[in-house]
Chain A
């Protein structure tokens, strides 16, 4: 069964390091997203797995066979890696009809006419593009082209499907639809999906595991909810989640094994950790509070001023000011607050994250006003 293993893969463009000693195992049937800001090496990583880009160093194994190794001078051509690749701009062949676009790869594999007909019809039904079979790509909308591109990629039955920001050219509504579709396809085809995106929401909703990259370095490789709840460092915490996590820098003082007293110019807080606080006894730390943990409450002791209010119907995103500190908060329900009005808040839940001085994850816990 196809399992992709990357060992110490490095790619340099001149002196610029695009991917830096990446180690990763993608197990069979996974839906992995490579996530990160633009220029972090995610597309390069995908293209290296596909064989369209040659790594400078390292080893790549697909399904137990070495497809690339800089030491052993192995570089198997993309066509022999049993992969499908979905391009960002779809790369449909403009001079061929939809039918021909899908069948061309199969003809090349010397399938019989009946087999090709059967397979193409199966795909046309699967992706609901039967009525477009005789049309040319230029006569289709973005979403339809997208489906054709998926059908063409799936035609040869690849066990691994690599996708390079396939939804970034679609409008918001269609993107939502295609996401559902992709998840369904993943179930249906039982293939391993590797998906590149810079949209953290897309990564969160689709993936079984997210691989977060920054500047060519692997930041965290875990399930979406772990990444959301226990971000490995400040970069991950900041990148994932919208609106972004609130970061509060404070001085810590150890109270007991589970409790810290945290203070800065405007706040004085008690942090109760969910596990033992080994290592952190004092000094500067950073608190990460998700916007949904900043809740409005009548009896909350912390007074804030509304800096901005963005209602969207289902929820309202608030920016609240305490001294010179600004906090993001999400309030569910159709609510709006006048700018400048006063609100009382408290910190709820067990999911406040504590980072040490270097910005590395320490533990989670709950927060109370001192």
Chain B
């Protein structure tokens, strides 16, 4: 779905209060929400694939020993899948960092994101400023990628690793 259409839906849905949900327009929350929903398929896909890789015997071995569901998740499944879970976060994060069209309708002067700021400077013709922001975006993505790789051993260029 085009990002623009996606954000238009969110704009019309949350510009007024609906039931228990307050009007979200102009808040940071709506940016998080739109970004999350937009990239959910990527993240869940990588998570599901990782779960398929895990044989069910790993969990059944725990079931037979009487290890409860919560402990099986926290002590067996998630630690084994740690790296693929983290790379599942990394992919949406890097994509979201350079997202402009998704946020352009949703931001207000009070809560800009880097890409919309870049767009704003560029529109004014302040090319040095926009170049600087561009560099910042690139640096942030590379830094995060680097740290996540270091910490988890996972990387999106090497697959789920292990």
Binding site for B on A (CB under 8 A): 50, 52, 77-80, 83-85, 87-89, 91, 93-95, 104-105, 108-109, 152, 156
Contact = CB atoms under 8 A, between A and B. Distances in A.
13 contacts: A52-B60, A52-B63, A78-B63, A78-B64, A79-B67, A84-B64, A89-B57, A91-B60, A91-B61, A104-B65, A104-B67, A108-B67, A109-B66
Contacts of A88: 57
Given A87-B60, A108-B66, A156-B65, 9 more contacts: A50-B64, A78-B60, A84-B64, A85-B64, A87-B57, A89-B55, A91-B61, A104-B75, A108-B65
Contact of B76 (A50, A79, A93): A93
B71 interface: yes
B57 to A, nearest CB: 4
A344 B67 CA distance: 66
A45 to B, nearest CB: 16
Interface residues of B, number: 16
Contacts of A78: 60, 63-64
B58 interface: yes
A79 B64 contact: yes
Contact of B66 (A79, A85, A91): A79
B80 interface: yes
Contacts of B66: 77, 79-80, 105, 108-109
A156 B71 CA distance: 18
Contacts of A77: 63, 66
B69 to A, nearest CB: 11
A193 to B, nearest CB: 16
B64 A83 contact: yes
B58 to A, nearest CB: 5
A230 B83 CA distance: 57
Contacts of A79: 63-67
B62 to A, nearest CB: 8
A189 B2 CA distance: 65
A105 B80 contact: no
B79 interface: yes
B64 A95 contact: no
Contacts of B61: 85, 87, 91, 93, 152
A91 B65 contact: no
A91 B76 contact: no
Given A91-B55, A93-B76, A105 B60 contact: no
B71 A108 contact: yes
A104 to B, nearest CB: 8
Interface string B56-93: 01101101111100010001100110100000000000
Contacts of A83: 64
A58 to B, nearest CB: 21
Contacts of B57: 87-89, 91
A93 B63 contact: no
Contacts of A105: 65-67
Contacts of A104: 65, 67, 75
5 tightest CB-CB pairs across the interface, nearest first? A79-B66, A91-B57, A105-B65, A87-B57, A91-B61
A94 B80 contact: yes
Contacts of B55: 89, 91
- Which of B57, B65, B71, B82 has most A Cβ within 10 Å? B65
A91 B58 contact: yes
A271 to B, nearest CB: 50
A109 B57 CA distance: 20
Nearest to B60: A52
Interface in B36-70: 55, 57-58, 60-61, 63-67
Contacts of A95: 79-80, 82
- Which of B58, B61, B63, B76 has most A Cβ within 10 Å? B61
Contacts of A91: 55, 57-58, 60-61
Contacts of A50: 64
Contacts of A108: 65-67, 71
A156 B80 CA distance: 23
Nearest to B57: A91
A85 B60 contact: yes
B58 A93 contact: yes
